[in-house]
Chains A and B, each alone.
Chain A
């Protein structure tokens, strides 16, 4: 076979590069391989690839990166679920059907305490992960315990709020606004309750199994989950409570 007119091929079957006067497609192939914009990659090419980094032909990235990224995708999809509840509340906020309006059911003092509890628990959660990083079991457990106590305080305040409202006959079936209100705030509360169960499980696992790789991966995921709950709460206290109290 003659190579006249066709792209020149090297001995090993790969397109030869840098011969000069090559068709544009070979040049494009070289650009793609060198990834000039380095999307998702460290600069590579002449440097050798690292095993476990997920680059080149060294197989998938190591477990920690894959686990963290997969959980990140889950969290984003969970936030999309929350956004549906936010959209429902935004649409229904005026639909009071002659019942109480948003401004009459919010208690800013309690919400301030709830917010403080959740923010501090996010902080202690991160400190516990810092202790995990230093392989300090005692401080990991103490900060996880503090996270749990603060989270439990948040949940009790929210249950107290719901009980008080129910005592005044303000229940989800009263109006469209209340349905979406209890749906949104309740969904977040259910997430916090599930997070507390997870947290108790993690404390037991750290105590019994120690800092094994899979335990550390789970602690990392719990850390991400708890911070994501705090991010959702920022949206709730701003849009439902603060904006509702003024309107």
Chain B
């Protein structure tokens, strides 16, 4: 846990594990390892980013699979950021943060997947553009 002694009861030098975590607080199991966490996060991120850029420019894997591979790498890197930079953990003191995150992800997926799905169907059901232009003339 972080020792940000910014709240009254923390000036007693007594860290209490029963307190909820704010996002960005150090997780209890790696207390005092800010720099180690930052280095790990940077290391993982660099590997995943360089991997994504190399993959996009090469034909190492089956080309139609590249977009899927890129999305997998991006989601992995977002996870790395959440864990090592934002310090979101699965501990019980983090339940509120994780629940909010889960709801956020649900809404994001509804918006993105829903838009793509609906607009794709709309596109298929629409009259071809040149035919529409001819009718408008």
* A contact set with B: CB distance below 8 Å: 38-44, 47, 49-55, 61-65, 67-69, 71-73, 76-77, 79-80, 83-84, 86-88, 90-91, 108, 112, 115-116, 119-120, 122-123, 126-127, 129-130, 132-133, 211, 213, 216-217, 220, 223-224, 227-228, 230-231, 234-235, 237-239, 242-243, 245-247
Contact = CB atoms under 8 A, between A and B. Distances in A.
B92 A79 contact: no
Contact of B4 (A76, A77, A133, A224): A133
Interface string B62-96: 01001100110110011001100110000011011
Is chain B's binding surface mostly helix, strand, loop or mixed?
helix
Contacts of A71: 23
B23 A69 contact: yes
Contacts of A133: 2-4, 26, 34
Interface residues of B, number: 62
Given A50-B18, A79-B108, A122-B85, A72 B97 contact: yes
Contact of A91 (B9, B71, B101, B119): B119
Contacts of B114: 87
6 contacts: A51-B9, A69-B22, A80-B111, A130-B34, A132-B4, A220-B24
B69 to A, nearest CB: 10
B128 to A, nearest CB: 14
Given A83-B108, A213-B7, A234 B17 contact: no
Interface in B34-67: 34-35, 37-38, 41-42, 45-46, 49, 52-53, 56-57, 63, 66-67
B100 A224 contact: no
A230 B107 contact: no
Contact of A79 (B25, B35, B104): B104
B98 to A, nearest CB: 10
Given A40-B95, A51-B9, A234-B78, A224 B111 contact: no
B6 interface: yes
A1 to B, nearest CB: 40
